[in-house]
Structure 1
Amino acid sequence: MGQARDDYVLDLAASRRGYALNRMCLSLKDAANRERFSADEAAYCDAYGLSPEQKKAVLDRDWTGMLDLGASIFYTFKLAMMDQKSMQYLGGVFTGMTAEEFAAALRSGGRKFG
């Protein structure tokens, strides 16, 4: 699984690399697509042309791995919602905190960099 980091950058290269993955995640906004995804996740990934690495990350719910493969947090969250995961949960995964620790950090003004 990917490691927690605080330097995910969705630049042009990452966006191109993650195009199929982001497109697949975005498709989950529609109820009919969520039903098709739930019925056969692997086939759904194949229908969107995910690379083998992207498909494995989706099936394993390797959230940081998906970002490493070019996913956008905003699109990845649509997949997380399929598993009833909150944005605070994902924030915790991406920063190495629990969802509760991440939420507390947000309430206290967030992490300070510099």
Structure 2
Amino acid sequence: MSRQRPELKQVASVTPMQLYDFSQKVLFSPTERGEGFLKLAVTTGKKGARSRPHSHPRDEVTLTLKGQAVLRADGKEYVMTEGTALRLPPGLEHEVEVLSDEWVVVAVYCDECMLCGKLDGGSGSG
């Protein structure tokens, strides 16, 4: 068994990709690595940017670093501002809209991870 080592990445060195109306930099991804359990991403959106309603098979945890956005879920609105942490339970449909000029959030979630497939009795492709 090979020895595991810490991995260090600079956000500035990661090429952004489009996600809904947002720009997302995925720092660590189970799909890219071929192993691991969690995706770590920094997502940025400009005022008015929105996601579609969606859910995740396991928890999603976010931390707003800059700006303000509203998360809509279960008929309620949750305002996320700088320093606000949010946990979404598995399967909860939600959508996000940016309220400030720019919103920057760090998100950790399990969409493509081996853990999702194993817990769901699937193949592990998450």
TM-score band, normalised by shorter chain? under 0.3
Structure with greater proportional helix content: 1
Compare relative contact order (CA 8 Å, sep 6+) and give the higher one, 1 or 2: 1
Structure with greater proportional strand content: 2
In our comparison, the structure showing a higher alpha carbon Rg is 2
